[in-house]
Structures are given as C-alpha cells and as structure tokens.
Copies of this chain bind each other. A is one copy, B any other.
Amino acid sequence: MKIIKTGLAVTVALATLLGFDSCKPKNAASAVSGDAAAKAYVAPGKYDEFYNFVSGGFSGQLAVYGLPSGRLFRTIPIYSQDPESGWGYSEETKPMLNTSHGYIPWDDSHHAELSQTNGEIDGRWIFVNGNNTPRVARVNLSTFRTDEILEVPNSAGNHSSPFITSNTEYVVAGTRFSIPMDNANGDVPINTYKQNFKGTVSFISVDKTTGNMKIAFQILLPGIDFDLAHAGKGPSEGWFFFSCYNSEQANTLLEVNASQKDKDFILAVNWKKAEEYLAQGKAQKVTTKYAHNIYSEKTHSATSTIETEVNMLDAKSLEGMCYFIPCPKSPHGCDVDPTGEYIVGSGKLAALIPVFSFQKLQTAINNKDFEGNYGGIPVVKYQSALYGEVPKPGLGPLHTEFDGKGNAYTSFFVSSEIVKWNVKDLKVLDRAPTYYSIGHLCVPGGDSKKPNAKYVIAYNKITKDRYLPTGPELTQSAQLFDISGDKMQLILDFPTVGEPHYAQACPADLIKKNSVKFFKIEDNANTYVSKGEGETKVVRTGKRVDVYMTVIRSHITPDNIEGIKVDDEVYFHVTNLEQDWDIPHGFAIKGNNNGELLVMPGETQSVKWLPAKTGIYPMYCTDFCSALHQEMQGYVRVSAAGSNVPLLFSTGKNLPPADSTAK
C-alpha cells in the first residue's frame, strides 16, 4: 500500500506577501498569503492566544506550545528521565519513575486530556498516558509539573487513555495488548491467546480537590486490543466508549491476521451501572502490584507506594454494563460530539465514517436488538445503533474533533487530509491536504462540550521535504489551520518534539492566571532544606555525607568542602534561596555519574554523588544567573578512604586548619 502522499507543496507567494509593491485587492492570492503570515505571527513581547499541549509520543513527555505561533515553551518531563532538569536523577524525583517492575527511565506518552468541569476545560490538570508500561500521569497546570503517576495493573499497552468524564470523575485506561491477568500464571504459550489473554478497561477516580487518582474499578473483557476512547456527555453522560481492534484475537503478524474481519467494535460502557455493581459488592478483589507515585510541592519530593489490590468487575456476567457496537474497519478514533448524541467511529482501513446515535443505541439495548454476543457481551446490531455514514470522505479516517457549530473535522492518514463535515446531514463541506500522513488532530476544546473553534491543528507522521533536512532522523510536525471561516486555511507548519499523538488546546487565560512564579522558601518542607546560609552544614553519618547547601546570586554555600572520602555516598541538598521569578540555579560536580540539578526559587533538590578517586572536584551553578554567574563555583576535596582529613566546610574564608599534606 502506498501511503505517503507526495502532493504539491502549498506555495505561498512570499515575494508579494504584503502588497508593498502595489496595492493589491483584498481577494488577490497575495492578500490571502499575506493573511496567513499575519495570522501566525505573534510579535515580540506579545502573548500567544492558546496553549497547545502535545503528547511527546516516544519522548515520554508533554510539550507545551503557543498558538498561533507554534513556539515550544516547555517540555514537561513525565515518564522519561530529563537530564536537563534532573527529573529522574534527583533523589526527590526518582520515585516518580518507580513501577512494579522497578525504576523505568522511559515511556511512550500518547494522549493528553485536560481536566473538565461540566464538560468544559477548567485549566487545572492535564492527564497523560504511558503506553509501554501502563501508567497514567497527572500534570499540575499551576506549576507545569507532574504531580502524580499511577501504574495500571492487568494491562499492557495503555493506549485508550487518559480520556475523562465531564466532571473529571474518572480517567480511563484500556489494554491495547491483551495479556494473562496479573494473578494468573502468565507463563503460558503465546498461542493460547484465546484462552488465556484478557483485556481490561480501568476507571480511575480523581479527587475533586487534590486531583489524586485511585483505581476505582477495572472491567474484565475479552482479549482484544482497546485503542481509543471518549466519554459520553449530555444525554450520554454516564457512558464511555472505547474503540477496539483485533477481534480476530490474533497473536502474530497482526498486520494480516487482525485485519481479517470487516468490522471490529466500539465498546460502550455504562459506568454508572458499573458504580452500582461496585456498590453492591459485585467486584472481585484481585491481587496484583502497581506503583502509585505522588509529588508534593510542600516537600518538593515524591513518594512511591506499591498498591496490591484492585476491584474487578466481570463484563460478561454483569448485565447492562457493557455492549459492543460493530464498527468498520480496524477502528481507531472514538469521538463524541459536543451535544453527546453522536459517537463517531474511525476505521483506519475504512473508506467511510460511521456515526452512531446514542438515542438509537439506547433503544436497541432496551429492545435487545442484538446480533449475538462476543465473549459473552451483547453485540448491538450495526444498523440499529447507526445514525448514518459519511460516504467516501477519504481513506483511513483516524480521529475526529468538533467545532461546536455542528461540524466535525476528521483526520485521514492514508489520504493525508483533514475533512470537514456536518454532523447532522453527514455532508462533506471542505477538505484540506496535510503534509504528510496526519494522525490525530486538535481543535481547542474540540472534545469538550464547548469547543473554541478558531483553529484545527494537524499532527503529522511524515515531514520529509517540509523542513531543512537533518540527516536520517527528521522532526515530526504540526500544521495550523484557521477554521474561523467556512473553508480551512493553512497558515503554519511547525515542528514538534517527540512524536505528537493526541493533543489538547485551550485559551491562555484559563491557565496563565494560575501559574506559580516561585515557591515560598518559608513553606519549603523538604527534609534537607536550608532556609538561609546560616543553616547550611555538612553532616557525616558513617559513609553517608549530607551537604545542606544554598545557592543565591552569585555564590554557593558552602563552596569549599573537605573531609569527603572515596567510597562515601554524598548527597548535595541544594536550596535555591531566590524569591523571584525566572531565577533558577543549577548544580553539578565534575565526574559525577548522574544528572545535574535545576532548582527553582524556593525549592530544594538533591543529587547523589559517589566519589571514586581522590582529588579536587569543582562544582558550579549550571544556569546563567547573573553577571557573576561564572564566579559561582566551589571545590570539594576527596581524600582516600582511610584518610583523617577532617570534615570542614566554609564560604568566603579559607578553611582552618590548612593542613599541608594529604593523608
């Protein structure tokens, strides 16, 4: 199959961009082109209008862009080590990457979902899934830091995640790769897939005040691949919809073997019903192991706890909780329109878009209008749930977002385009080519009740020939379209870090008003904080040495340390005493087999160092902080393991006594 479209590049006549040569009429091509430049441009000193939160894919992180400029403001470390900030290297952050498999330095973050209140984006948190070793993360949008990571047991490939309900009651997580359950004997032949492999979808409750997550229940399902999901809203409130593929239950060469059936499914889950069953004690307590990691900005530290049990509800035995809806063909996107009445499927090998009616689905369920069951779960007749099909819209629909004005925007991977269509009459209204192979797309608030339909952003899988080449590895890319008019207008190509899968966007005002500028030093409850230079010290406990250190423009306290010995385990606990915005300090010491620290004002972070050789080790501030930043340095003397050099530390005076020879 030829999947890469090599269509004509969109050429915008820059030479005549602004009509300075002559006064061109408003409808001239050059005016349209000039319009695009102006629409994408954010002048120096001006703010962008929207935040765009884009999943990092195989980077494991979350990227924050401004729209319409496409400028990258920040990469928030979540699942992967970040040498730049010390995330996953510092003692305070290491527990965030703990799992039931131990410490893992990487994951694959596919989807991001902003928290909602009453179906509207509330700007509090953004959730991000980890696909490889199933996890869900919650990022705090006042600090732009990962506050919590919860592992998901009984799952592999946490792909249909972290989609949420209208009041952020739940974040969901569904198995992409079915596996034997954690409490089963997992040491089984792979070709016993149909007997031994199961799928689950997890409903993770979110505390209204703290945001803290907890696995409320899991639903046991047949061993198929759950792909994407979206919650019901309005009339469909209380339901959740998950696309699934590989209903063939193939365990090898899925490219061929999982593409046999004409239709796979959308799973409809009545989660209010599930809550009832849970309350009635119908869940089985299932033993397993999963990590629950929480970062506190009181202590600027994380803790990791291993949980040992989940509530499992069996879909096939608990009536009225789960239904399958047939959906052509190898479904991917599963999207609910702002009214909550329409559920849009997207088969990645399909040449049509099926639109299901929640009302018709309910009628079909009430009438038991089933074509049979799959794994003991009723399968509603396709036609009974179908509102209608968008005929021949393109090839390979992947994902649909909405503009709140009755229109839908669907990405087509195979035919490389965005297609705009009307949800009511299913007529195609417009189409725009993408360069190339679009995956997901995003309208600000486009999966909420109230989209802010100024833009649609395409997240593309192929970029060759769109940017200056950078060897075999190329950036991935987004394209920004203005959708304020009837027709989509391409205004900007912008590169993305990692691989952008799903993204979210919202008006800047929702978030920027809450942004924390620095941490108050008096509130710092880190065990190793020094709230002033007078509190700095170096403490030896056996082979462990704790250096309580402060940094402030432009010196380190203490900046001369002696009495450290080979084979010591040294911890530098660095408190940034600044109380102003944008004055971080960094910390590093020569030869350390570890990352650096990047310490925000008012914060304490700690890095471990295992000195292996005698000598003098310079340390310094790694973040240019003042005109005398280059002078912000110090020295640590390391003596032999058996040395009697006394433990001494100071700043600004020479260490007494000046012993002249090494021991």
Contacts and interface: CB of A to CB of B under 8 A. Distances in A.
A83 B81 contact: yes
Contact of A84 (B80, B469, B598, B625): B80
Stoichiometry, copies per complex: 2
A349 B639 CA distance: 37
Nearest to A156: B618
A150 B71 CA distance: 34
A45, A103, A603 pick with most chain B CB within 10 angstroms? A45
A185 interface: yes
A101 B591 contact: yes
A281 interface: no
Interface in A130-168: 132-133, 142-145, 156-157, 159
Given A191-B654, A462-B582, A630-B348, A555 B593 contact: no
B104 A662 contact: no
Given A99-B591, A517-B469, A189 B615 contact: no
Given A105-B89, A105-B593, A638-B187, A470 B659 contact: no
Contact of A626 (B3, B12, B467, B560): B3
Given A17-B38, A105-B593, A592-B104, A560 B472 contact: no
A133, A470, A663 pick with most chain B CB within 10 angstroms? A470
A85 B186 CA distance: 31
A403 interface: no
Contact of A600 (B464, B468, B473): B473
Contacts of A191: 560, 654-655, 658
A46 B83 contact: no
Interface in A578-608: 581-582, 584, 586, 588-596, 598, 600-601, 603
Nearest to A595: B106
A302 to B, nearest CB: 17
Interface in A23-48: 23, 26, 31, 33-38, 40-41, 43-48
Nearest to A509: B468
A271 interface: no
Contact of A145 (B57, B71, B254, B471): B471
Interface in A613-632: 613-618, 620, 622-628, 630-632
A73 B254 contact: no
A454 B251 CA distance: 58
B189 A652 contact: no
